[in-house]
Amino acid sequence: MKTGMGVRQLAFDFSAAPAPVLRTRRQERGLRAWLSGQAAEETVARLYEARGITVLARRWRGESGEIDLVLRAPDSYVFCEVKSAPSFDAALARLRRGQLERIYHAASEYIGLTPEGQLAPVRFDVAAVDATGAVDLREAAFGHF
């Protein structure tokens, strides 16, 4: 800090400042999508918690793939896929058969780590989150896709 004539001046060495982060448009879209997904998952997790369901893991990754939310309801383990888009219909349209199969396999991996093992009761939910942050939670939904 430099002083002179009763005025304080802060000295800043610009050569030591980090270079600004330059991202491509694609990287910016990816970052926005990731942040949007995080926010959607947080909203859905809070909805479950308000219903007395415990969040065990977020974005749990096994060898077969990733599960957005792993939860424990009083009667079962719940595996929830969260989809966000401008509308509920657009969000649900993003769910594909191959993704469902990967989630089933990853859930089997997770259940294998629980005390009940493969005999544990499970449920697969889908939560669609629209642009306003509203949630359409569909319990035991995988059979409908």
Q: Where are the domains of the chain?
A: 26-144
User: Are the C-beta atoms of residues 66 and 111 closer than 8 Å to each other?
Assistant: no
Is CATH 3.40.30.10 the classification given to domain 26-144?
no
pTM for the predicted model, two decimal places: 0.79
> What is the spatial distance between Cα 141 and Cα 137, in angstroms, rounded to a whole number?
9
C-alpha count within 13 angstroms, C-beta hemisphere, residue 136: 16
Indicate whether 83 pLDDT > 90.
yes
**Cβ atoms within 10 Å of 103's Cβ, excluding its own:** 23
Q: Model confidence over 84-99: pLDDT tens digits? A: 999 999 999 999 999 9
The listed range with the strongest mean pLDDT (1-5, 116-120, 134-138) is 134-138
